[in-house]
Amino acid sequence: MPLLSFTLLVFAGSFLAGLLGALTGLGGGVVLIPLLTLVFHVDMRYAIGASLISVIATSSGAAAAYVREGYANVRIGMFLEVATTFGAVFGAFLATRAPTRALAMIFGVVLIYSAWLSRSEMDHDEENTFDNPWSDRLRMSAAYPDGAHGERSSYQVDRIPAGFATMFGAGVLSGLLGIGSGAVKVLAMDKIMRIPFKVSTTTSNFMIGVTAAASAGIYLARGYVNPGLAFPVMLGVLAGSLLGAKVLVHSRVSLLRTMFAFVIMALGIEMIVSGWLGKV
């Protein structure tokens, strides 16, 4: 394939991955890595390296809009990043010593889990009715825009230690698989810490860049970041994430989540089969 055609196709695929990642809070890596490895036959570790660079771009593009609109909770994000950063460094250390077949199969399982989570776990914004004094002591309680006329809904954060421990696991997945591990982060905030869905999604997008940066340095030092591949991937994901941020703020995306769930379910099965047969 000519270099220009390859670059344009990678850019287009990365744009779609960034758009879907910003809309769902799962990160574009869940689409990007299967796209690079299965369609463009890029080595798994180089695909992970490019994905980590793109995840940083995703967070930079989408998170700025979410913080400006008042959805992302920066205090919660920075507190939980302590756990995810340590996990990301540990995961990146493991990834450089694991066979690509194993990485592909693990990634396929994560994709299927993400599909289930995206389809069945993310449609509640019920008002928090519990009382957790640590939420106020750590100043995590806040409010977010909820309505077309500028109304704001307040919320508190619950089960902070359990959410913090889960974030370490999310960081390990990020470093091991080159994704933002947004599925685990959204699950921890939405279901464990009982943070409203829109806040969970936008705060996840804010966090994934910091997590990816912690592990990207290890991939860069070991030569797994190819500038010729990472550059169109980064630009495509950044453009897609900026568009996705605008769409999410003003729209409901339940239909898109359903379509996204079916797509990444198929990709997850394909990654498991390809890893089992040694095609990656």
- Report residue 154: phi and psi, to 5°: -90, 160
128-71-81-100 Cα dihedral, nearest 10 degrees: 110
pTM of the shown model = 0.68
Per residue in 81-110, pLDDT (tens digit) is: 888 888 888 887 877 777 767 777 877 787
List of residues 6+ apart from 200 with CB closer than 8 A: 25, 185, 186, 189, 190
For 67, the 3-state DSSP assignment is helix
Residue 12 binned pLDDT confidence (cut-offs 50, 70, 90) = very high
Contact call for residues 188 and 170 (beta carbons, < 8 A): yes
| Amino acid (one-letter) located at 258 | T
The CA-based dihedral angle spanning residues 83, 52, 191, 264, taken in that order and rounded to the nearest 10 degrees = -150
Neighbouring CB atoms inside 10 A of 222's CB total: 13
Cβ neighbours of 252 (radius 10 Å): 10
pLDDT band at 125 (very low <50, low <70, confident <90, very high): very low
* Contact status, residue 128 vs residue 47, Cβ threshold 8 Å: no
